[in-house]
């Protein structure tokens, strides 16, 4: 919250929710990363007599990686547990060759039966010289897409609902109070004569969960209250906002000195 202008004829207070914008951007970026970099795998093997090869394709939204493995170098398929998971309850299939270990996929799965079934199919093909082909696939991207979309949705929700730029201005020359709120999708503007404002107050209301929350409101000569700040927003200092407006409009015994209050 910043005082953009303060003098004897005009007061302008503006709030830019920079932290909320940053939070929503981070959530959306992480969600996009989850969707873009999680992928599926497909292992296709062909045997011709005593020779053959396997092709391992790791596909992602941003591209695919293809690796060819000579069939005579493929020794075994085993189950590997996630070393970063202390409970060791996520697994993946690893292909053992003469020179290295090749993970079937970069993702670990909690479905141990699925991983054992895939490893069993691969090992059966390696041992059975009469089996001429093998095709196994693993694609758990639906969970990544769901989780990533959820993060993006939360980020957009925060930006749309809470990420509004609020500009509150009082102009004694034009005899107008103007409240502007600008969001990603739309904006609203409220205007009224300064003469209609008889007081400014910090009012306490109850939300849908029956919790007490505060906001700053203008008291109009009709008796109605016009809320000018978001409800229970930690980035607004309600007491100082109310004090600043009251001082500018001479709504109490304090006289305006033309100096900017220290908000």
Helix, strand, or coil (residue 60): strand
Check residue 96 and give its pLDDT. Answer: 93
CA atoms of 127 and 249, how far apart (whole Å): 89
| Non-local CB neighbours of 171 within 8 Å, separated by 6+ positions | 9, 10, 177, 178, 194
Q: What angle do CA 187, 193, 195 make, to 5 degrees?
A: 145
Whether the predicted pLDDT of 207 surpasses 80: no
Cβ-contact 79, 116 below 8 angstroms: yes
The terminus-to-terminus CA distance of the chain in angstroms comes to: 8
Whether the predicted pLDDT of 129 surpasses 50: yes
Please tell me the number of Cα atoms within 13 Å of 5 on its side-chain side: 11
Check residue 252 and give its pLDDT. Answer: 64
> Is 261 or 109 the better-scoring residue by pLDDT?
109
Check residue 185 and give its pLDDT. Answer: 79
**If you average pLDDT over residues 224-236, what whole number do you get?**
77
CA atoms of 32 and 208, how far apart (whole Å): 33
| Non-local CB neighbours of 117 within 8 Å, separated by 6+ positions | none
Q: What are the start-end ranges of the H helices in the chain?
A: 18-37, 112-127, 141-162, 238-248
Per-residue pLDDT of 7-51, as tens digits, reads 889 999 888 888 888 889 999 999 988 888 777 889 999 998 778
Q: Per-residue confidence at 1, pLDDT binned at 50, 70, 90?
A: low
| Portion of the chain with pLDDT greater than 90, in percent | 30
Per-residue pLDDT of 44-77, as tens digits, reads 999 987 789 999 998 877 778 899 999 989 999 9
Q: Per-residue confidence at 233, pLDDT binned at 50, 70, 90?
A: low
**If you average pLDDT over residues 127-134, what whole number do you get?**
91
Sign of CA dihedral 158, 163, 164, 166: positive
Q: Per-residue confidence at 254, pLDDT binned at 50, 70, 90?
A: very low
Helix, strand, or coil (residue 223): coil
- Residue 226 pairs in a beta bridge with 218
Check residue 258 and give its pLDDT. Answer: 37
- Run of H or E including 7: none
Which pair of structure tokens corresponds to residue 44? 């296709």
CA atoms of 168 and 180, how far apart (whole Å): 6
Would you state the torsion angle of the CA atoms of residues 96, 102, 108, 114, taken in this order, to the nearest 10 degrees? -50
Which pair of structure tokens corresponds to residue 106? 């970069």
Which pair of structure tokens corresponds to residue 60? 């992602």
């Amino acid at each position: 919250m910043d005082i953009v202008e303060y003098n004897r004829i005009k007061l302008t207070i503006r709030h830019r929710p920079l932290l909320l914008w940053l939070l929503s951007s981070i959530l959306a970026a992480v969600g996009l990363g989850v969707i873009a970099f999680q992928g599926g795998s497909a292992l296709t093997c062909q045997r011709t007599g005593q020779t053959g090869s396997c092709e391992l394709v790791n596909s992602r939204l941003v591209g695919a990686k293809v690796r060819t493995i000579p069939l005579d170098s493929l020794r075994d398929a085993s189950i590997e547990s996630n070393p970063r998971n202390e409970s060791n309850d996520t697994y993946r299939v690893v292909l053992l060759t003469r020179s290295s270990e090749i993970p079937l996929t970069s993702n670990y799965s909690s479905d141990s039966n699925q991983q054992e079934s895939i490893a069993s199919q691969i090992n059966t093909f390696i041992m059975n010289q009469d089996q001429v082909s093998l095709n196994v696939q693993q694609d758990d991207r639906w969970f990544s897409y769901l989780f990533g979309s959820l993060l993006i949705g939360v980020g957009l929700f925060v930006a749309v609902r809470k990420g509004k730029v609020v500009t509150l201005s009082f102009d004694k020359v034009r005899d107008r109070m103007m409240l502007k709120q600008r969001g990603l999708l739309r904006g609203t503007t409220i205007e009224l004569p300064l003469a209609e404002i008889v007081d400014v107050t910090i009012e306490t209301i109850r939300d849908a969960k029956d919790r007490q929350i505060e906001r700053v409101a203008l008291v109009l000569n009709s008796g109605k209250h016009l809320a000018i700040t978001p409800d229970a927003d930690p980035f607004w200092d309600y007491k100082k906002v109310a004090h600043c407006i009251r001082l500018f409009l001479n709504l109490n015994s304090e006289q305006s000195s033309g100096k900017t209050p220290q908000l």
